[in-house]
Structure 1
């Protein structure tokens, strides 16, 4: 506990502080704690004591001071009284002034109250004005949304609506108009979405209307690229190895800038699409918009496809319109995918593309049966190839279209084969089968240029008119063969991914045409009985064989790099070669048949009583016939074939002549009969000698030796092997005895036989021999 001394000191200090306080406030601030502390204990009484003591001490001090300075104090009191009087006066004036101020203050209070009241009204008016302004701004923005919609400023309208909803409406949430406008915001957004979709549908309609023209422009641009590539390839042949859309071609053509979507002919503005997409993004309806847009494009794709197309149109307008429309549609799709990948994915675009390709292929396939002309089919292929190259440049897959081109080629090859087969058959059936006459040099040059023919003389030595060995059908067929080859390879121009199939199909088709439509028909005409026609067919067959041999290296050289290397062998070459033998046999048959007919007219009197002075008529006719065919009908044949025909004809003639005395109808042959046969054989031998070919005479060896045997005085030599081999080695061992048995050595002279003839016979054979022969004849009889 604190000591009494300490408490006393604290009270003294508190009193000291209270007395020394400069103002009432501080006085109370110092007195209150002391009173509060004193009231807690017995110090209250002490505090009063200290205050009383302090007051007494101060009064004593004042009294002391007054006693010391009484006079001055009196003076001061007088002065104070004077001051008091002045103070009273001033107080009166102050009271009057205070009353005056109080009166003024009351008026001022009234004015101040009126001012406060007016300020409240003005504040209310200001608040109402601001609220009205805020509401009018909201209404202005709301009206502006509709005005912007009317001006087709859809995105601006959406931004105004967004500003209205997120900024201005929040400032007037306490007003009912804010609630009303807030409720109208979804309807306004829907209105904006519908308006922008309406504009987009209008844009899509225009795009659909523009698609065909866009495709037409794209095709034209591809044609221009083709032309430029061909020009570059002519300057640099190495560029022939690079097709359109290859890396080399694209680099070479990159200086030719051309925007298919923005050029002098067509402009496609994607602004409506961008705006629509942006607005739907802002509305949070991107997925819905993507689905609606995809459905709309699918519907437009269906509208793009006609129910059917006409492929036999001369201009090909129906197919061109279809492909141009598909191309324009696909180009827009690809451009849309590149510009707005969030709207159109590659899967969506490729799905539409595949669908359009399959529909186009189906439409073309349905109408393809109407096409019966290869040229029309070639135009169809050209349209499709141009379409493929155009779309390939836009990175679309074209595998299905390439496969369809293969089907077109198969039909094209069949149409070509059918047409040229008819042409060949007509050429073969209408040919005159006569050597082809040429009257002028230009005609000669044309025939030589189109035919695989090597003239025997230089061009300068040809004299006109002249005759070529082959008939007119050969150069006509050569022209058709060249056209056939060219038209086959026409299909591979510009774009065709299966050149090896062209090479194989061309070889097979050409083989079939030459074998069936030319060779077979020529062979069928070998049944003719006209030797000249058969000879001409043989000559034509030989030239066709040469043509096939010439064609084989040409086909090998024309083959594409994708084909297997090596030589090309045409089966038709062997067909023509083998049927040359057939024609030769047919010539043999006709010549031998004629020989048979001529020899069949032989009228030998094997028991002739007299000798014939002249060769038989049939022999003269036979040699004349052989000479004529050699110098006319067979003149155009190669020498080896002519000699072969002559060799066979003479061999056959010798055999037939030898068969005359061997006939079972001939019982006896006298020397006169043998002499007649010998004269004819000698005549034939002399004719063969005029031909200048010793080999041909070998055909008559058997006949000559047989005549020698029949005329031999000692016929028994034939039965001696050594002598027979030496003198009669070519005589048949069976025919010799038969003829010897038929021989008689006497000649029966009729009663009316004239002496001059008898003398002639006697002088030739001897009188005794003649008489002996007559005796033996009479004995035999």
Structure 2
């Protein structure tokens, strides 16, 4: 502390020294300062005055400067505002455009605007509240656009499902018009090259589709087209009737949204469902052609739409997808046609269905779809069509046969002759020379049958048209079908006419004449088929018609029926025979039943004048043989146990009457006494008994030159036993209580001897 105090004292002395040293200077400074204070006061006053003057003088400048500053600030704010507005106005304009597009339902441009707004405009605009609101609203707008476009697509799909038949009808009408043009061009080319056109060939039935068009619906894809008269308007194409913008729009929208796969899968799935619905036929489709037409129209409409989508979009549908649908449609369609056509019994409906199916296949073939299986199915249906034709023609033939009067056709004038000649080719120079009125040898069913045969050929030709078959194939098909008609249907109908009850000999004779003329006309049918198919009849491998054999078989059946009927008539007369087998002596005249029988045969054979000679001769010979056999059976019946010589003499008279009939030649053409040979067995047997020439018979038996070569020992023995029994009974009655007279005993012994010899002869030949 002492040191510190000492140090403080030292410093105080130093400070005192220093103050003493500078005191004078301080006093001087104060003095000068006082002097300066006055001057400073003056200066202050002057400065104040100057400042006041300066303030007064610079006030306007300050005001101007302040105004300038405000202007500069406003200018800067305006520039900033302009810059900000430059970035915001496009956003607002684009958003306004977006709203307008949304209201106008222009969703794809709206989506593009939305994309540009989000990617370009909003980032440049900056962080504004309205920009945030817009940015937050963009996902909702995208979702709305996607949902609305999908709704439009659903409306479009539903609409084309409802209007597929109209779309298909239009497409098929186009194909029909094109085919008509092609056919017209083909006919012109044929005419130009000098080819002969088909004569009288039936034209295939074609659909007369109405010129309607689908109704329009907003965003449905169906445009509105006014119905006009077909001859004045061109047939609109399917692309003219269908607005595919909903599909394109939705495809673009989903592509932009990055959901193209979702859209493609949805579209294909929905179209597959629609395809299955379209391919499901109605249960009553087979009842009318309209049912088939609607079915085909829907299928065509479906694939027309898919084909257009395939060629106007990239990847929405591909060729594999369309081919898959077509394979499904092909199998379903063929199965449906096979099923429903099998219910059909009308050949006209089958023909119309065939023509409609051909138009259906041509339409789809024009769009590039393979249709060979459909043509194969049509060839299968041809057999069914042929069976229906056979049934229809069977009814026609039977109706003609039932209505025919089986009488030659009277021809009074040349006009009538020309009319009949137009239906049946008949050339007979001898008949032509005869004056009118005259009669054709055949009845009405000949020209009617011939016309029906031609109509059948026309019907077969109609079905074979437009099936892409060669002329040779068509010719072969027609000939095979015609052969079926001839060998099965026509043959059965003729057999029906021949075998039906109560058919008379005159009708059978007329049937033979008719079938003869029909047989002669078969080569005209061959020429007729060749003319309409342009295939020469001598082509290698060409099927020949079986008409000749058919009519020959029918004629032979009619001939056999004539022989049978004649024999039945003879049997009926023979049932009237009433011989007294124990008559003591015969009469001088033929029996009444035999006289009636001979008269019947004479009148019957008079009708046979128009028959071929061999037929009449065979019928006459058959009748005489049957009469001879029946008379012999009558003589040898087991019920006839006894035959007197008187009865045998009466029987001989009847046989002579038969021989007189045969010798008179009821049918021309027999040489000499050929017809008498039918009674040779009876004649030799009766001569043997009436002449009692047993020694000659037994001696010459077995020799070719024997007088009684046709007498069978069994027959002779049976008749001899009956005569022997009759003689025994007669002798027993006449000599009840006496012995036989000597001559009767001798005759009986002779008979017994002959009987014994005959039995020995029979046994020796049997051994």
TM-score computed with the length of structure 2 as normaliser: 0.66
CA separation of 1:120/1:259 partners in 2, compared to 1, >3 Å: closer, same or farther?
farther
Assess if the C-alpha contact under 8 Å between 1:650 and 1:696 holds in 2. no
CA separation of 1:165/1:449 partners in 2, compared to 1, >3 Å: closer, same or farther?
same
Assess if the C-alpha contact under 8 Å between 2:663 and 2:675 holds in 1. no
1:403-424 Cα deviation digits (max 9, x unpaired): 5435644543343333333444
Could you tell me which residue of structure 1 aligns to residue 707 of structure 2? 728
Could you tell me which residue of structure 2 aligns to residue 648 of structure 1? 622
Assess if the C-alpha contact under 8 Å between 2:620 and 2:667 holds in 1. no
Structure-2 separation of matches of 1:431 and 1:442? 22
CA separation of 1:458/1:391 partners in 2, compared to 1, >3 Å: closer, same or farther?
farther
CA separation of 1:146/1:309 partners in 2, compared to 1, >3 Å: closer, same or farther?
farther
CA separation of 1:517/1:443 partners in 2, compared to 1, >3 Å: closer, same or farther?
farther
CA separation of 1:779/1:460 partners in 2, compared to 1, >3 Å: closer, same or farther?
closer
Pairing 1:123–2:98 present = no
Could you tell me which residue of structure 1 aligns to residue 674 of structure 2? 697
1:400-458 Cα deviation digits (max 9, x unpaired): 54454356445433433333334444444565555555556555555555457665745
Structure-1 separation of matches of 2:235 and 2:321? 24
Structure-1 separation of matches of 2:254 and 2:617? 98
Could you tell me which residue of structure 2 aligns to residue 34 of structure 1? none
CA deviation after TM superposition for structure 1 residue 468, in Å: 3.1
Q: CA RMSD in A?
A: 5.3
Pairing 1:261–2:237 present = yes
Could you tell me which residue of structure 2 aligns to residue 84 of structure 1? none
Pairing of 1:645-724 with structure 2 (within 5 A):
645-653=619-627, 665-668=642-645, 680=657, 683-684=660-661, 686-688=663-665, 691=668, 693-697=670-674, 699-700=676-677, 702=680, 721=700
CA deviation after TM superposition for structure 1 residue 152, in Å: 3.9
Correspondent of 1:398 among 354, 361, 371:
371
Structure-2 separation of matches of 1:191 and 1:328? 31
Structure-2 separation of matches of 1:215 and 1:610? 96
Pairing 1:492–2:467 present = no
Correspondent of 1:463 among 436, 442, 446:
436
- Partner secondary structure for residue 468 of structure 1: coil
Pairing 1:375–2:352 present = no
1:310-341 Cα deviation digits (max 9, x unpaired): 44666x33332332232223112101111113
CA deviation after TM superposition for structure 1 residue 261, in Å: 3.3
Pairing 1:635–2:609 present = yes
Pairing of 1:411-426 with structure 2 (within 5 A):
411-426=384-399
Correspondent of 2:189 among 236, 247, 253:
236
Could you tell me which residue of structure 2 aligns to residue 187 of structure 1? 140
CA separation of 1:669/1:325 partners in 2, compared to 1, >3 Å: closer, same or farther?
closer
Assess if the C-alpha contact under 8 Å between 2:174 and 2:235 holds in 1. no
> Which of the two has higher C-alpha Rg?
1
Gaps of 5+ in 1: 1-99, 245-256, 745-773
- Partner secondary structure for residue 282 of structure 2: coil
- Partner secondary structure for residue 377 of structure 1: helix
Could you tell me which residue of structure 1 aligns to residue 50 of structure 2? none
1:365-389 Cα deviation digits (max 9, x unpaired): 6655663322223222322221111
Assess if the C-alpha contact under 8 Å between 1:154 and 1:196 holds in 2. yes
Assess if the C-alpha contact under 8 Å between 1:646 and 1:696 holds in 2. no
CA deviation after TM superposition for structure 1 residue 643, in Å: 1.1
Pairing of 1:222-621 with structure 2 (within 5 A):
222-237=175-190, 261=237, 266-298=240-272, 300-301=274-275, 304=278, 308=282, 310-311=284-285, 316-357=289-330, 360=333, 368=341, 371-406=344-379, 408-428=381-401, 431-435=404-408, 437=410, 444-445=417-418, 447-451=420-424, 455=428, 457-459=430-432, 461=434, 463-470=436-443, 472-495=444-467, 506=481, 509-510=484-485, 513-514=488-489, 517-525=492-500, 528=502, 530-539=504-513, 542=516, 566-568=541-543, 577-578=552-553, 580-595=555-570, 601=577, 612=588, 621=596
Assess if the C-alpha contact under 8 Å between 1:262 and 1:268 holds in 2. yes
- Partner secondary structure for residue 184 of structure 2: helix
Structure-1 separation of matches of 2:248 and 2:715? 115
1:127-176 Cα deviation digits (max 9, x unpaired): 13321342233122112111122234444433433333333223223445
Could you tell me which residue of structure 1 aligns to residue 601 of structure 2? 626
Pairing 1:212–2:186 present = no
Bigger shift: residues 331-340 or 734-743 = 734-743
Structure-1 separation of matches of 2:369 and 2:447? 47
CA deviation after TM superposition for structure 1 residue 394, in Å: 0.5
Assess if the C-alpha contact under 8 Å between 1:552 and 1:568 holds in 2. no
Structure-2 separation of matches of 1:138 and 1:529? 106
Could you tell me which residue of structure 1 aligns to residue 763 of structure 2? none
Could you tell me which residue of structure 1 aligns to residue 33 of structure 2? none
CA deviation after TM superposition for structure 1 residue 398, in Å: 2.6
1:20-45 Cα deviation digits (max 9, x unpaired): xxxxxxxxxxxxxxxxxxxxxxxxxx
Structure-2 separation of matches of 1:673 and 1:261? 99
- Partner secondary structure for residue 491 of structure 1: helix
Higher RCO structure, 1 or 2 (CA under 8 Å, sep 6+): 2
Assess if the C-alpha contact under 8 Å between 1:519 and 1:575 holds in 2. no
